[in-house]
Structure 1
């Protein structure tokens, strides 16, 4: 008789995974989100869905009726790997895993350290004399709500390249991964919070530092930014590549013409500015625009991951079918927001507030 051919348990590469979605959609190795859950996780997921209203359920399920195929675990490390060289915010932020249901909103408590309270969130300390009444104090909490939003990246490729999955896999994976990382990093810095994460620049907890001169950066700008940051945090500078010339030309205010950052034309550009690491980021606003330089503790930025990534493939976009082209789409859900809702008043000078996000104004 004819020998049975056993289908392998895993895909040989990310390219073969994409090939199967496009040309072998019945491949048993292709899994939906629900297929990736254990029986206990699936029961918990279904119970959580049942408790939600239809609107909440639609929002929480996230991927919608068309769904997509879950990226196999064997490719998750490479597709989701984000190193400090690839991205600036995520590797240094506080990241909350998806959980169950993965796309549901989550509320994170934060101390109300605004000027209306104090640095201890409303706690008052008094020395109490013998027999005196102890005063009552209340701990004031604020809440940061995070609801993962869908972010998607897509690329158009020829069917011929997709059939050559050994070659297509590394190319498509690299391009999609880089684009998704870039979209995240940009939005974590400048996002509006409407249908996307809330960015650091322009957030309620940031302090805008007035620029000494339009379209320029001088030593006084750096000093003033440093002076509005709260001690005890771990800060990094993030700036547009456009500002490099400004930094390299910074001079000592007390000794005109004496360079104090780029000392000469022989040595390389320093990676430290006022004792803090500096990263030049193409996703930052350009020179002269608010946020072209910021000084932040990225651990005070919250990221909530949702479900995904998922992969969807279609050849029915425009003329793709007759041109033998395919659109490959990768999508996942994520949200982010600054942890601080307002600058924090100094303990001994409540009228003067400090922040974890100093932003150079336009």
Structure 2
């Protein structure tokens, strides 16, 4: 029995217990008490098996970084191993960097940060040392929705240069330019010319502005914590919104926009409502080879519809996960994530089925920070 079946069985037993207690206003009969205890044994057994599956999954993660019963594996990061400790620019913390930018640095450490930027330090900003920049991005990635599942290409030696890569062209009527034919022994083989298209990833820039007090900047430990949280959260939200809904103009192209030529739209049985058949039709229209790596993204406005969905046998196809145990919420056995970035209920995109390993993210240079007391600094 897999994780989803165990969770469904457990939920069904708990519901049955609740029904028994609702009928016991005048007290429990011997039969009702027996049935309740039998259900409790069933729940305990489910808990035991769930714990065993969790242990198997934990062992598998340590072994090869995957997940046995979930599809929420780590992102595919093409990042070479770096030798030695990461550069901290001679600073102990991000707060110390911020303090130096605001009040100056007698040790001259800022000169190295300014030298890495093509603009003047006072107007173009200072590049945050690699150690702190990576820490911010790593903290943010834990809260990120899209990045952990996508194909992430590291910054590289020329972080802000466009990158081009060839890809087989699978647009309609051009199946990669490959002709497939069964032939008899000795028969002439069909000619095939692979058809390639060019994929170009261009750097985009995102900027944020925040007003702070001198008191906070003078407290390096406090400013490290506060600015670290603010920056990582801002980066995550800006990225996720663009990766889903970005129009590609000055920002990434989102997969939910009309610019995505691979997007399929499945018509609903009933407008403004999600049914089990709608979800099944989405899966039927999806490339079958992509299903094992795919996840559902849903607007929180359709949560009530999703919770009520049942299959032909009356089993709930929506199973609430447990984040404390690393168990994802699932729909039809596939991980489901609720967002505030999907279209609202009844609009195209309120429920999405995606294989994000097909989504490319190219990282650029790190985070630049500059400060000024001038009102028109923005």
Aligned ranges 1:288-303 → 2 under 5 Å: 288-303=346-361
Distance in 1, Cα, partners of 2:94 & 2:271: 49
State yes or no: 1:147 paired with 2:202. yes
C-alpha RMSD over aligned residues: 3.1
Does the Cα contact within 8 Å between 2:319 and 2:331 map onto a contact in 1?
A: no
Q: Structure 1 stretch 221-230 or stretch 106-115: which is displaced more?
A: 106-115
Cα 1:201/1:33, change in 2 over 3 Å: farther
Say which structure, 1 or 2, has more relative contact order (CA 8 Å, 6+ apart): 1
Structure with the largest fraction of helix = 2
Deviates more, 1:188-197 or 1:289-298: 289-298
Structure 2 unaligned regions, length at least 5:
1-87
Matched, 1:17 2:59: no
Q: 1:86 aligns with which of 126, 143, 154?
A: 143
1:29 aligns with 2:85: no
Matched, 1:260 2:316: yes
Q: What is the total number of aligned residue pairs between the two structures?
A: 282
1:1-362 paired onto structure 2 within 5 Å: 10-24=90-104, 27-30=107-110, 35=115, 66-82=123-139, 85-118=142-175, 121-127=176-182, 133-202=188-257, 203-233=260-290, 234-252=293-311, 258=314, 260-261=316-317, 271-318=329-376
Which structure is higher in strand share? Answer: 1
Structure 1 residue 10: Cα displacement: 2.2
In 1, the alpha carbon distance for the partners of 2:185 and 2:343 equals 60
In 2 relative to 1, CA 295–27 (structure 1 residues): closer, same or farther, beyond 3 Å? farther
Per the normalisation by structure 1, the TM-score is 0.70
Q: Distance in 2 between matches of 1:229 and 1:89?
A: 19
User: Would you say the 8 A contact 1:82–1:91 is kept in 2?
Assistant: no
Structure 1 residue 12, shift from structure 2 partner = 2.3
Q: Distance in 1 between matches of 2:159 and 2:120?
A: 11
The TM-score normalised by the length of structure 2 is: 0.67
Structure 1 CA distance for aligned equivalents of residues 147 and 306 of structure 2: 26
Instruction: Give how far 1:115 is off.
Output: 2.1
More deviation in 162-171 or 269-278?
269-278
CA contact (8 A) 1:80 1:177 kept: yes
Q: Any conservation in 2 of the 1:262–1:270 contact (CA below 8 Å)? A: no
Shift of 1:243: 1.6
